[in-house]
Amino acid sequence: MSNSTLNYVGVVIAILSGAITLFIRIGKKEDLEHQSLVNLEDSTTINTSIDAEQPQKNVKKVSFQMRIIGYILAIVAGLFFGLNVSPTTYIIQHNDDYKNYTPPVSKNGLNYVFPHYTGILLTSFFYYVIYIIAKKNKPHIDIQSILPAFISGSMWGIAQAALIYANGILGQSISFPLVSVGPAVIAGLWSIFYIKDIYGWKNYLIFTVGTVIRAVACVLIALSDKN
């Protein structure tokens, strides 16, 4: 029998690791150094030399109301992400309730990928048509983003198929926390080594501690399904 206590503890630790990473200071190194110089008390000469050497960037400040809206939209998107595979997982885990169906209900999650993706495609097409109508047949299309969009979409499609398959075997209470923890680590490494908006030993230490805690959470969640 699976140990639900380990699962609960693992999920709580995973949430804690996410809270720890909130203390990471994000920003380009040159921008933060520029801001530190500008904030000095006797910075008249410094500001003049900086403005003479390079034009000041137009930085738009995000209002408190916009931050709240952003948080709410992120929560809604997270809920949709968490629920989008729930119907297929429910059918797989309650397979015995559909014994009399013709054709019989499959327990293999991969058999649900095609209808799942077809629904996503039709829904995306529907909203895109609404967008075109709202823009009066003048939609904004970033040509340079088309190829990266296809590549990222293909990567997402493969990962989503693996998630549906894993849900059918492990159940959402096991697989979903695991797949939610991994991308955060990858995003952090991407920010450190490629975008480079996370730098400094303090940020590295916070990220490392958060990653180790995430690893502990993954182990506990995985062990919770051990018979």
Q: How far is CA 135 from CA 122, 157, 215, 216, in A?
A: 20, 29, 46, 48
**pLDDT tens, N- to C-terminus, the chain (227 residues):** 457 788 888 888 888 887 888 788 877 665 555 555 555 544 444 444 444 444 445 555 667 788 889 889 988 988 888 788 888 888 887 777 777 776 777 888 888 899 999 999 999 999 999 999 999 999 988 889 999 999 999 998 998 898 888 887 877 777 877 777 778 788 888 888 988 888 889 999 999 998 899 888 888 887 876 55
43 HSE (CA, 13 A, CB side): 11
Per-residue pLDDT, 28: 64
Per-residue pLDDT, 48: 47
